[in-house]
Structure 1
């Protein structure tokens, strides 16, 4: 998901987050519903003599909870691009920024690699001061095109085709 926020007349901020169909609370409700159904079924089977089902039912609930936790943890990342006072700030992290980089606006180039196949994902890279940073690796195809459009039209950064940039600059 790509969200553009205008902080002031000169400052703009793009927040990139992965698409999530449910938040933590909704996932917890799904886990509790699955656990309830599983335990009712396992208890009924245990009362008929198949008591060995109960430990495996518990293991299934723990495995489902762990899978949901790790998936939500992976989807909890975000990237924030802030353009303010002639400076581009790139922040990445989960609960707090784990990476915080500042670049002069004139030193920043955005490269968009055209997809090799019609439905593949385009790569969007931020090149500044001799380093390349991949942007929005967790975004889907429409969001990547929206990101490139917002970087060019709203944040007024130079967006070039990956191939054209290599031929003219390197």
Structure 2
């Protein structure tokens, strides 16, 4: 998912994975699954088959942990701020863990063609010293939309297959 807005004299592009469900909805699903599972486990425990109950609990703990892990990964953000003089790239979960600050005139977009028709292009921002990928989790349409938004702000200096990229 891509959002952009203007903040003072800069354009801010926020890139994040699609989130099909909220954490609250995941908790409701976990509760809905827990009731019959624990009910059956308690029923079997009352009939003397008590080893079923811990396994039912472990199954629900594993499901809850998996839901939490997926939800946490969907909180990943990439924020590109393009001002008159600088380009700032921030990546992280909830808060920026990595950031780059480059001069705008030295920054450009690198586009690597998709390997097949179902993938979108790979997008990178680079300057003379380093580069960083953008939107690797986006769908084909979203990657093309991001490329259009980046082209409005920055030049595309390299375009082609991965083996042809030289920086």
- Asked if Structure 1 and Structure 2 have the same fold, meaning a TM-score greater than 0.5 normalized by the shorter chain, the answer is yes
Q: Say whether 1:163 aligns with 2:130.
A: no
RMSD value, Cα: 2.1
Alpha-carbon distance change, 3 to 146 in structure 1, aligned in 2, over 3 angstroms: same
Whether the aligned pair in 2 keeps the contact of 1:148 and 1:159 (CA below 8 Å) is: no
Quote the residue 1:2 is aligned against. Answer: 2
Quote the residue 2:56 is aligned against. Answer: 57
Quote the residue 1:106 is aligned against. Answer: 105
Q: CA deviation at 1:57?
A: 0.2
Whether the aligned pair in 2 keeps the contact of 1:111 and 1:162 (CA below 8 Å) is: yes
Between the two proteins, the alignment pairs up a number of residues equal to: 166
Question: Deviations 1:15-74 (Å, cap 9, x if unpaired)?
Answer: 001111112111111111111121112222333332221011001011101111111122
- 1:122-137 paired onto structure 2 within 5 Å: 122-137=121-136
Q: Say whether 1:138 aligns with 2:137.
A: yes
**Matches of 1:167 and 1:62 in 2, distance apart?**
48
Q: CA deviation at 1:149?
A: 0.7
Q: Which runs of 4+ in 1 moved over 4 A?
A: 166-170
Q: Say whether 1:40 aligns with 2:57.
A: no
TM-score using structure 2 length: 0.90
Whether the aligned pair in 1 keeps the contact of 2:120 and 2:144 (CA below 8 Å) is: no
Q: CA deviation at 1:121?
A: 3.1
